[in-house]
Amino acid sequence: MLIRYGGEFADVVIERAEGSWLTTTEGRRILDFTSGQMCATLGHSHPAILAAMQDAGSRLVHLYSGFIGTDVLDLARELMAVLPPTLSRAMFLSTGGEANEAALRLSKLHTGGHEVLAFTGSWHGMTAGAASSTYSAGHRGYGPAMPGSMVLPTPNAYRCPVRHCRDRCDFTCLEVGMELADAQSTGAPAAVIAEPVLSVGGIVPLPPGYLAALRRHCNERGMLLILDEAQTGLGRVGRMFAFEGEDVIPDILTLSKTLGGGLPLSATITSAEIEQDAFEKGFLHFTSHVADPLPAAIGRAVLQTVVDQRLAERAAELGSRLRTGLEELRRRHEQVGDVRGAGLMLGLELVQDRDTRVPDPVLGTAVTQRCLELGLNVNIVKFPALGSVLRLAPPLTISEADLEVGLEILDRALADARPVGGSRLHAATST
C-alpha cells in the first residue's frame, strides 16, 4: 500500500523511539547509529524538542507565507550569533533539497549565470535543480538535468577519481576538474555546490586546504561557493560548522537535517549584499511552508541545546572514541579497508582485499543486515565508483556505554559476515 521510494523497506516496524534507541512493534530494541535519516541530532524524543513542540503548537503553527512569526525572527538572530558576520540573511524552508534549490536560484539570479559544478559523489536533494547537482545516484531514467550541470571529481584519496594519488590528495583532481569545466563552459558560471564531508559519496571529508583552493577557483571565475552542511552542521563533525576548520566562508550556506533535530526544517543563509541584489532583481522562492513558525521554534530548541550543552565538543570527544574503536575493528577484520570522517560522522569502507581496494557491496549488505538482527541500525552506501561504506552517525547525545554496545555489535556482525570458502556467512537468527 506504500510507494517504495528508495528500495525495499526494512523488515521491522518502529513503534516508538527515545534517545539513541528504537523499539519495534514486537518489542525489539535497536540502537540507532544513523540518527534517523542523519537528522535526530539530539536523539529521539529529546525533552527540549518536545517542550518546544508543545509550546509552539499552543501558540502558532502555520502562517500565510508573507507573514513572519516571532520564532522565525528569533531563530534567524540566534543563527547569526554563531555564524561569521557576512552570513547575515536567512530563509527557512522544509527540506535540504528546498534549501539547496533556493541557494541555486539565488546564485543564478545574482551572477546571471547558470552553470553549476558539484562533486561526482554528491547528494543535494531530489528537487529539480538539487537533483541535477546530485551525482551519487538518481539521474538514470528521469530525463535531462538542468542546463549547465557539471561534475567535479570527488577528492577521495583512498579511491582517487583520476587514478593519481593513493592515501594523500594533492588536488590534481580539482585542477583537472576545473579545466574540464572551463572547456565545457559557455561563459555563464554561477556556483559550485559542495558538502564539506560527502556523505552518500562514502563519508569523504574534503582534504585539508582543498576548500581554500576551491574558493580561489570560484573567485577566479566569478562563481559563488555554496556549502551544503545538511549533515555536518550544528556540531556533528566536532565543530559547530564544518567550514570552521578551514579559513573559508561560503557565499551561501545551507542547513537542514541537523537543524530540525528530526523535524522538517532547513535554512538558506547568505550575505546582505547577495540578498539585496537578488531582492532588487525580483527573487522568487515561494513555498507553502516557507518561514513556518512551529519548525522554527524546534530549530531554536535544537540550536540552544547544542550550544548550551557544548555538543560540538562532545561530538569531537565521542568521535575520537568511536574512531579508536573502528580502527581496532580494522586491525581485527581484513575486510575493513579504511576508516574516515570527522566527529560523530564516520565511515567504514569494506573491500574484497586491501591491496586492490575492490569494493565489497555483498559484504556490506550482509554486515548491515546482521547488525540489524543483532540490534544495531547502520546504513550502507554502495556504488561501484564510490565504494561500499558503512555510515555511522549516532546522536550527539549518545552515551559512552551505548557507543561501546554499537562497536561490539559491529565487531560481531563483521565476524559473522566474513567470507568463508568463497561464500558469505549470514546468520538468520536474531538475538
pLDDT, one tens digit per residue, over 256-309 is: 999 999 999 999 999 999 999 999 999 999 899 999 999 999 999 999 999 999
Residue 359 is placed in which grid cell?
569494493
pLDDT at position 189 over 60: yes
* H or E, element range at 303: helix 293-308
Domains and CATH numbers, the chain: 14-45+311-424 (3.90.1150.10), 47-308 (3.40.640.10)
When pLDDT is cut at 50, 70 and 90, the band that residue 6 belongs to is confident
Total residues found in the chain within this entry: 431
**Taking residues 303-322, what's their average pLDDT?**
98
* H or E, element range at 183: helix 172-184
Query: Pairing between strand 189-194 and 204-205?
Result: unpaired
* Contact criterion met (CB below 8 Å) for 262 and 36: yes
How is residue 142 annotated by DSSP?
S
Query: Using one digit for the tens of pLDDT, what is the confidence trace for 102-112?
Result: 999 999 999 99
Burial bucket for residue 14 (CB in 10 Å: 0-12, 13-18, 19+): middle
Instruction: Estimate the crossing angle of helix 96-111 against helix 272-280, to 10 degrees.
Output: 70
**Taking residues 75-84, what's their average pLDDT?**
98
pLDDT at 420: 53
> Which active-site residues does the annotation give?
123, 195, 228, 231, 257, 391
Percent of all residues in the chain with a pLDDT value above 90, rounded to a whole number = 88
Q: Beta-strand (E) ranges in 97-242?
A: 115-119, 149-152, 189-194, 197-198, 204-205, 224-228
Q: Residue 195, by phi and psi: left (phi above 0), alpha (psi -120 to 50) or beta?
A: beta
Residue 57 is placed in which grid cell?
503548537
pLDDT at 418: 75
Written as one string, the DSSP assignment of 74-101 is: HHHHHHHTTS-TT--EEEEESSHHHHHH
Stated pTM of the model: 0.94
Residue 126 is placed in which grid cell?
531530489
